[in-house]
Every structure is written in structure tokens, then in C-alpha cells.
Amino acid sequence: MAEQSVLILKGNIIFTPDARNFKVYRDSYLIAVGGVIREICPALPAQYQALRIHDYTNQLIIPGFVDLHTHGAQFNQRGLGLDYKLLDWLNRYTFPEEGKFSDPDYASRVYEAFASELIAQGTTRAAVYATVHLSTSRLLFAVLARRGLGAYVGKVNMDANCPDFLKEDTAKSLQATEEILAEWTGNSLVKPIITPRFAPTSTRVLMDGLGKLAIKYDAAVQSHLAENTGEIEWVRELFPEHREYHQVYQHYHLFGRTPTLMAHCIHLSDNAMESMKENQVIAVHCPDSNMNLSSGIMPVRKLLNAGVKVGLGSDVGAGHSLSMPQTMIRAIQLSKIKHALEAEHQPLTLPEAFYLATKGGGSFFGRVGSFEPGYALDALVINDTAAGWDMEPLEKLQRFIYTGTTADIAARYAAGRKIG
């Protein structure tokens, strides 16, 4: 054990081992060895007593946040054009913005700012879209790896129904994807993920090739599913051979054949939900984006009751903020509106939303998002935002989630290393 680094954090430790309840260890020691959690102790065991303790007494220690759906290349587009719905928003704002990522200087500036903001907001793991451009997608991998974040990064594939300046040659798109897979598959923190933007911008040949690459490299997959009714209608016209949207991905081995994230999942049939459950496809709920693009409300309770795994995503730039606490709150608030409209749709609770943004989403990265033994030490230290007031640690956490800012996060750790 001597050659493995030991990290000891002391404070009020809070996490959600399950979605029902917060677990609170007051004034305790969180001990990690080689970046992996060993135990939580109320008193420091004898063998660690000569070691340095990172003393955060009176502060909170919580898991780092997991953002399962965000677009690094849309970071500079936050807040713009949000009076449009999805397809107009893509054509008028997103595609022109993503076109700028042929320029490495521009890409580098945006990706550095994106990584800085992820870290500031306490996100320690993220599933991120780049653009179709190979060279600047490589840049995004390099930036996130250098900053010490855990991530899945996708070079986007598009070879149909998009502007010429983004439309890829199918063979070249597959070749570029394979180059990235070969380069980054072995990395422990930043991994490649196969990323057809969505079915409408993909030919059948492209999806067939991507599915084969997913199997060959045992690579994860991410895309968008059933976000907007116009989009769903378009998929029906483009792929009349499939009865439902998700079956297009499924046909090409892009729906759970390897670990898969599907963003949005707002308008799904019971059959599609059943298929997500069966194939262990994770539905990523992006509440800001649901509202900003007037797409609808993801029926999160219905998916959870159907046994579908769910995570949370900021979906920047259709979402306007990388803050996962704000994403949690909006998920809760949307679920309350859904409940007002349909009484049987029970609202999300705070521990449920916290679970989705930590251990739930973290499961895509392995043992991530909890402080149980064997989990990666991804942790945030939260300042005592209620100093001077007589509040329990759990109340302080509630206050932070609803009213906290980046300035309230005193320290950040990803995979056992301090980042910032």
C-alpha cells in the first residue's frame, strides 16, 4: 500500500447510494487509496495517522457531478436563438456555429473555456459532443485529458441533410472515427464515444459502418432520440422501413449493443421504453433544453417506473448552463409541472435528482458517483453556505443545490486528483 497514494478528506460527507435517501456522515474521514475509495470512518484509523489530512471541517464533501449530455462546440452559443424550435435552431444557429470548428484557434479557445466552466461548476465527468471536424475533435480530447476531467468525447458524424460545409463524405467520416477510436480507446479518463448526431443527418451506410465500429472496438454510443415532434415525423419519412425512431438505431447496432446514451427521449411509446430497458440504453434527461426549445417535458417518472436507466444532461447550447445543481432543480420543477398536468406522474425528489446527477449518470463511467468502497474518488468540497445559522449538513446541501454558485465550491477532485 505504501507505493499507492492515500488521500484523506475530512468533513461532513453526503452522497446517495440509492435514489431514495441521502446518506450523511458527520465530521468523518473519507479515505481513498490510488484514487479509489477505501472507507468512510468516524475516527482516523491508526495506519493513516501519520498522513496528511485535507481538513474540510464544517464543509460538505459530496460526489462530483456527472453531465451525460453536452456539446462542447456549442459552449459559445449558450442563450442564443432559443426562441426557435429544434430544427430551425439547428439550421439558423448551431450548424453555422459548428462550422467555425474547422479553425483550430477558435476551437481551442472555446474548448478551453468549456473545460474551465465544467470544472468551475463541479462537473467531474461528462459525455461531450465535438463537431464533425477530426483535427479539432482531437483538440477537445486533449484539453479534457490535460485538465484531468473524466469524459466520453464524440467526433460527430453527419453525411446527410445538413449544410455542405458540415456534410461529410461517408467513407472519410468512418475512417476519421476509427482513427479516434484507435487513438483514445485505451485512455483511462477520456474515452471515445461513437456519435452519429441523430438519424436524420445519417445515411444508412454511415450508421451501418458506425455500428460495426462500435462492435469492433466495443465502443460506447451516444445520439439524440425523440426530442421534437417535427423531428420524429422527419425520421418516419426518411426511414419508412422502421415503425419507430429507436428501431432505426437498433437496426444498425447503435442502441445498446454497446453502452449507449440517448438524449431527450421525450416522446416515446411504451414499446420504445421497454426496448430501452431491455437494451440497457440510458435515457438522458435535459430539462433546460426541453423548455428552451419548447420540445416538451420528458416523462422522467414514467421512464423510471418502466425500469429505464436515466441520467441528467445540461445539453449546452440548447441548455443555457453547465450547472448540474441547476439542471437537477429544473428536472424537479418540470416533474412537478408534469404532475400538475397528469396526477399519476409523481414528481422527482431531491435525493432522486441528486442520484441521477451522481451515481445514476456515473454508472456509465463505471464505479463513479458514490462514496461506497471501490468507487473512484470524484468529490467536491462545498463551503459552509449557512455559516452562522443553525443548520444540519443536509439542509446546507439543499441550500447549496438551490442557491449555490461556483464560488461555493472550495475544491474539486476527479479520480483521486485535485483539479481546478
Q: Measured from the CB atom, is 178 or 315 closer to Zn ion?
A: 315
Provide the minimum distance between the beta carbon of 188 and Zn ion in the complex, in angstroms, as a whole number: 26
For 190, the enclosing helix (H) or strand (E) is strand 190-196
Q: Which is nearer to Zn ion, 315 or 352 (CB)?
A: 315
DSSP string, 253-289: T-SSSS-EEEEE--S--HHHHHHHHHTTPEEEE-HHH
Question: Which lies closer to Zn ion via its Cβ, residue 225 or residue 376?
Answer: 225
Q: Could you give the residue ranges of the DSSP H alpha helices within 121-162?
A: 134-146
Residue 370: CB atoms within 10 A of its CB come to 23
The DSSP bridge pattern shows strands 409-414 and 220-225 to be unpaired
Residue 288 Cβ, how far from Zn ion at the closest point, in Å? 11
HEC profile of 143-154: HHHHCCCEEEEE
Q: Which residue lies nearer to Zn ion by CB, 264 or 396? A: 264
Who's near 33: CB < 8 A, 6+ residues apart? 1, 4, 5, 6, 7
CA distance 125 to 419: 12
- Of 170 and 222, CB closest to Zn ion: 222
Name, in order, each residue with C-beta under 8 angstroms of 36's C-beta and a sequence gap of 6 or more.
374, 375, 376, 377, 416
Q: Which one, 89 or 413, has the nearer CB to Zn ion? A: 89
Beta bridge partners of 382: 60, 409
> CA-CA distance, 174 to 157, in Å (whole number)?
8
Report the nearest approach of Zn ion to the CB of residue 224 (Å).
6
Among residues 300, 317, 296, which one has the least CA distance to residue 309? 300
From the CB of 92, what's the least distance to Zn ion, in Å? Answer: 16
* Closest distance of CB 115 from Zn ion, Å: 18
Nearer to Zn ion, 288 or 408 (CB): 288
Q: How far is the CB of 3 from Zn ion (least distance, A)?
A: 43
Shortest distance, position 89 Cβ to Zn ion, whole Å = 11
C-beta closer to Zn ion: residue 70 or 124: 70
Between 227 and 408, name the residue whose CB sits nearer to Zn ion.
Answer: 227
Q: Which residues contact 222 (CB under 8 A, 6 or more apart)?
A: 69, 127, 129, 152, 154, 193, 194, 195, 260, 261, 262, 263
> What are the beta bridge partners of residue 319?
316
Minimum separation from the CB atom of position 197 to Zn ion (A):
8
CA distances 37 to 28, 128, 322, 383, Å, are 14, 26, 27, 22
Residues that bind Zn ion (CB under 5 A): 315
C-alpha 413/C-alpha 415 separation (Å) is 7
Cα separation of the two ends of the chain: 27
Looking at beta carbons only, is 32 or 156 nearer to Zn ion?
Answer: 156
